Amino acid sequence: MFHLRRGAPVVAVAALLVTTLTGLSAATGVPLDAGAPSPTVTTTTSTTVAPEPSTSVTAPPVTTPLTDATPVPDGPPAPDPSPHIRTLLARLQVLDAQHGVAAQQLAAATAHGALAAADASLDQANQAKAAADDALASARQQLGSVAAYAYVHAGGGDFVAVLQGDSTAGGSERELFAASVDHRQQVVVDAQAAVGQAEGNLDDAHRADDDARQAAADQDTQVDAANATLDAADRELATAAANERLAVTSSSWQLSIEGPSAFTADELAEWYQAQAHGSQASVPMTDLAKSYIDQGTAEGVRGDMAFAQSIHETGWFANLDTVNANNFAGIGHCSACAGGFPFATADLGVLAQIQLLKSYAETSPTYNVARADPSLNGPAGCCQTWTQLGGVWASDPSYGPHILARYADMLEWLVARRTAAG
């Protein structure tokens, strides 16, 4: 936040401090330590102002001299690598979309395999139902034959008469005949039950087949959507590559402060550890990287880009603000300050940075996580892109491009890693 240690023009610094330290700092309790976008000013009087410390964190009084202790170096500003970053992000989108298509195609193959199995089960259920119907018909036919035999032997009488002894057969023959009738009747009853079971199984098979058919159709839709995403990613990559070849102007594409992180927390920690710089942060790098990604995602700020900003601010998490204050973005640290604002934990320090960035990007920000420090508010809506932070978050006009160059290196590593992963 407002870093005079990198030098800002005297008039800009004086105008900023005279108008801002008496207004914004008094209203928010935030010591200003480098070039916030100055409102309209009418004076450049050089004085020494001692703003109030933050009401939410304990900080020593900050004295900001209205002098340009470190002149801005001569020469053109650092080139803005935003167009190249756009190309790298587009390449990552293509890789992710390709993986998405492959995953959806695999899921579709699985769904169609399940549909084929459901079709086979339905066929089996139809065959079982037909067999049960045939068995029932056969059982009824055999029972009918027994009934016809009884009718004949009863001399045109009824079937019951035969069983009651009104036939020419002897006693043992009548017993055998009765047993045969009982058996045939039971066969019919069993066959009817089998038909009922086959009908139930067939209904279940129809429902399962319908569900499998719908699932396969839905998955085909997902494949179409994944292919559409890949097509869009390919188009974005072509556009980004074409724009990268053009001269960079004020209207060129710039990376927004708000947006999704390209890195996962594990990838971010892995990249940092591969640089072999070590860290003096109070938590392991895996935890710190996770905090940047999680807090950034919660507030809609690019957490991996904020991580790149912190590397620039802290010299690879090695400065005194890192060690003593869990402060990774120079918040409250000016050219004449012994240190920046302290935060109780590394997680709070990260959150403060993320939320402060959000307050720079939005005119009326709302926060999704309880404020790390409600008094920390930047010049609302001044900077929607990282490039615009130059001369605002810090006095160096090339502040944004310097951080973006680091981020571009990070993305190069990420593209190579995901390409190798297949």
Give the rounded percent of residues in the chain with a pLDDT score beyond 70. Answer: 75
User: Which of the pair, 202 or 31, is modelled with greater confidence?
Assistant: 202
Do 239 and 316 fall into the same domain? no
Do 223 and 269 fall into the same domain? no
Q: What is the mean pLDDT of the chain?
A: 81
**Distance, CA of 136 to CA of 134 (rounded, Å):** 5
Indicate the helix (H) or strand (E) that contains 93.
helix 82-153
User: Which of the pair, 298 or 59, is modelled with greater confidence?
Assistant: 298
Indicate the helix (H) or strand (E) that contains 64.
strand 64-65
Q: pLDDT tens for residues 118-164?
A: 999 999 999 998 999 998 899 888 888 877 776 666 555 555 555 55
pLDDT at 89 > cutoff 70: yes
The angle formed by the CA atoms of residues 12, 17 and 23, to the nearest 5 degrees, is 130
Among 244, 276, 298, the domain-final residue is 244
Q: How far is C-alpha 124 from the chain's CA centre? A: 43
**How would residue 26 be classed by pLDDT, with cut points 50, 70 and 90?**
very low
Name the domain count of the chain.
2
For residue 52, give every residue at least 6 positions away whose Cβ sits within 8 Å of its Cβ, in sequence order, or none. Answer: 25, 26, 29, 31
- Residue 398 per-residue DSSP state: T
Do 128 and 271 fall into the same domain? no
Do 164 and 233 fall into the same domain? yes
Looking at residue 395, its pLDDT comes to 87
Q: pLDDT tens for residues 163-208?
A: 555 555 556 666 666 677 778 888 889 988 999 999 999 999 999 9
Do 262 and 358 fall into the same domain? yes
* φ, ψ (nearest 5 deg) of residue 259: 150, 180
One-letter amino acid of 21 = L
Q: Where are the alpha helices (DSSP H) in 2-61?
A: 10-20, 24-28
Looking at residue 294, its pLDDT comes to 98
pLDDT at 8 > cutoff 60: no
Q: pLDDT tens for residues 284-340?
A: 999 999 999 999 999 999 999 999 999 999 999 999 999 999 999 999 988 777 889
Looking at residue 179, its pLDDT comes to 72
pLDDT at 257 > cutoff 50: yes
* φ, ψ (nearest 5 deg) of residue 336: -110, 10
**Distance, CA of 89 to CA of 161 (rounded, Å):** 94
pLDDT at 73 > cutoff 70: no
Looking at residue 16, its pLDDT comes to 35
Q: Please give the average per-residue pLDDT across 107-126, as a whole number.
A: 95
Among 213, 244, 275, the domain-final residue is 244
**How would residue 62 be classed by pLDDT, with cut points 50, 70 and 90?**
very low
Indicate the helix (H) or strand (E) that contains 322.
helix 320-325
Q: Please give the average per-residue pLDDT across 361-370, as a whole number.
A: 96
Do 16 and 134 fall into the same domain? no
249 within a domain of the structure (yes/no) = no
Determine if the pTM surpasses 0.85: no
pLDDT at 278 > cutoff 80: yes
Buried/exposed 258-279: b ≥16 CB within 10 Å, e otherwise: beebbbebebbbbbbeeeeeeb
Do 195 and 118 fall into the same domain? yes
* φ, ψ (nearest 5 deg) of residue 49: -115, 135
Do 67 and 99 fall into the same domain? no
User: Which of the pair, 387 or 50, is modelled with greater confidence?
Assistant: 387
Looking at residue 334, its pLDDT comes to 80
Q: Please give the average per-residue pLDDT across 216-228, as a whole number.
A: 97
Do 107 and 13 fall into the same domain? no
Domain harbouring 207, CATH code: 1.10.287.620
85 within a domain of the structure (yes/no) = no
86 within a domain of the structure (yes/no) = no
Q: Which long-range contacts (CB under 8 A, 24 or more apart) does 365-373 make?
A: 367/299, 368/298, 368/299, 368/300, 369/295, 369/298, 369/299, 371/56, 372/56, 372/343, 372/348, 373/54, 373/56, 373/57, 373/341, 373/343
30 within a domain of the structure (yes/no) = yes
Give the rounded percent of residues in the chain with a pLDDT score beyond 90. Answer: 61
Domain that residue 141 falls in: 91-244
182 within a domain of the structure (yes/no) = yes
pLDDT at 46 > cutoff 60: no
Looking at residue 42, its pLDDT comes to 29
Do 97 and 238 fall into the same domain? yes
Among 219, 244, 269, the domain-final residue is 244
Bridge partner residues of 49 (DSSP): 64
Looking at residue 126, its pLDDT comes to 93
344 within a domain of the structure (yes/no) = yes
Per the listing, tokens 């068995």 go with 135
Do 327 and 413 fall into the same domain? yes
DSSP SS3 for 174: helix
Q: pLDDT tens for residues 242-251?
A: 999 998 887 8
Do 69 and 100 fall into the same domain? no
Q: Are 328 and 285 in contact (CB under 8 A)?
A: no
375 within a domain of the structure (yes/no) = yes
For the chain, how many residues are written?
A: 422
pLDDT at 15 > cutoff 50: no
